[in-house]
Amino acid sequence: MADYKEAPLMSRPKTLDANEYFNLSTEKRRAEEERAALRANLKRQYQLQLNNPLRKELVEDPALTRWVYARANPLPHFRPTFKTSLMGALGGVLPLFVLYYIFKTDRNKKERMIKDGTLDRTFSMTY
Amino acid sequence: MRASQSVREQQPVNMAGVGFRRWAQLLSERKGSGIPALFPGARAAAGLAKDGLPGSFPKTPEEKAAAAKKYNMRVEDYEPYPDNGEGFGDYPKLPDKSQQERDPWYQWDHPDLRRNWGEPMHWDFDMYIRNRVDTTPSPVQWSSACKQLFGFIGGALFLLYLGELFPSYHPVGPKQYPYNNLYLEKGGDPEKQPEEEVKNYEI
């Protein structure tokens, strides 16, 4: 499995990840310990609130609040650049005109056929 | 009684957890008026201060450190999305891994989401839940899986195409009818005898 190539957008299995076996320097361990300390602190806060017998309300999660707020308010951080203008034009302006053109030509063709009497309306229910 | 009720008013009260009766009690004691007075504590981010919310892209190292602290991450781990005006602000860029990849045996605070309370959420968290997009490694290598699937489908399609080019049927001959090839049914004269007995067989 030395030549294992991971699929695009998918991760490497943990057992094939070199980091698990070779990155055991003191800096990496210190980093892992700091992360564990942060995690433990959050766990402690949550458990204290969860098991508080005098608590009457829901335990609110500030990370969730921040996520919801960030997803709902991208506008203050929006800046019109080349990429964002292109995305706006391709996704918002272009479909409008393209779809109008497609539907209008199709409808005109159908109307032409109806006027000429060539449209097969055997099973038409709205006629 | 008075003292405890005024203390309760100062705490942000989550309306989902408080009963209707208590809400009516609170209302009667509150001094405000108008619609905002009906829902005490229902601010945009009750319990979270204004600077606990996401802000704009951090430019100086101090801003970066403050943002990392706000999101409960190490300063070295914190990496904001690049500042190209796409609306991310200072939200951290977490690795694109689905929740299915996380350890199923660890005691998560929310086991169905495999997430702990207070942990920074990925921007696309609702996409990476276990019911949706999954980034776990495939059991077979991607190239091998592609070759097997498309090889099979391609081979089958090719054979079908060959079948269209070189069709083969059971041998058939023209249909044989009795009674002198249906002489009477086809409008032949009943008086006249047919010219010769039609024999559709060979012995």
Q: Which of A16-20, A75-79, A120-124 has the highest mean pLDDT?
A: A75-79
Contact residues on chain A for B84, CB-CB shorter than 8 A: 79, 81, 83-84
Say yes or no: A32 and A86 in one domain: no
Cβ contacts of B59 on chain A, cutoff 8 Å: none
User: What does the alpha-carbon distance between residue A61 and residue A67 come to, in Å, rounded to a whole number?
Assistant: 10
The highest-confidence range among A62-66, A122-126, B40-44, by mean pLDDT, is A62-66
> Which pairs with CB-CB distance under 8 Å and at least 24 residues apart come from B179-187?
none
Q: Is residue A96 part of a domain?
A: yes
Determine the distance in angstroms separating the CA of A4 from the nearest CA of chain B, rounded to an integer.
Answer: 7
Residue A60 and residue A27 in one domain:
yes
Are A109 and A69 contained in the same domain? no
* pLDDT for position B175: 86
Q: What is the pLDDT of residues B122-152, one digit of tens each?
A: 999 999 999 999 988 888 888 899 999 999 9
Mean pLDDT of B62-74: 94
Residue A101 in any domain: the answer is yes
Residue A24 shares a structural domain with residue A57: yes
Our count of domains for chain A comes to 2
Q: Is A68 part of a structural domain of the chain?
A: yes
Clarify whether residues A125 and A93 are in a common domain: yes
pLDDT of residue A28: 86
Residue type present at position B185 = E
Q: Is B142 on the interface with A (CB under 8 A)?
A: yes
User: How far does CA A73 lie from the centroid of its chain?
Assistant: 15
Given A38, A59, A78, which residue is the final one in a domain? A78
Shared domain check, A30 and A72: yes
- Indicate if A107 and A89 belong to the same structural domain: yes
A87 and A41 together in one domain: no
Confidence band, pLDDT 50/70/90 cuts, at residue A127: confident
ipTM, 2 dp: 0.78
CB-based contact A31 B88, cutoff 8 Å: no
The residues, any chain, with a CB within 8 Å of residue B176's CB and separated by 6 or more, are B200
The answer to whether A75 contacts B14, with C-beta atoms less than 8 Å apart, is no
Instruction: Report yes or no: B136 at the A interface, CB cutoff 8 Å.
Output: yes
Indicate yes or no: CB of A77 within 8 angstroms of CB of B116.
no
Whether residue A66 sits in one domain with residue A42: yes
Question: Residue B33: is its pLDDT beyond 70?
Answer: no
User: Cβ–Cβ of B142/A10 closer than 8 Å?
Assistant: yes
Residue A88 shares a structural domain with residue A116: yes
* Assigned token pair, A54: 């005098």
Q: pLDDT-based confidence at A6, cuts 50/70/90?
A: confident
pLDDT at B43: 45
If you measure CA to CA, which chain B residue comes closest to A43? Answer: B117
Least Cα separation, residue B152 to chain A (angstroms)? 20
Residue A86 counted as domain residue: yes
Domain that holds residue A43: 13-78
Minimal C-alpha gap between B118 and chain A (Å): 5
Q: Cβ contacts of residue A83 below 8 Å, gap of 6+? A: B84, B85, B86
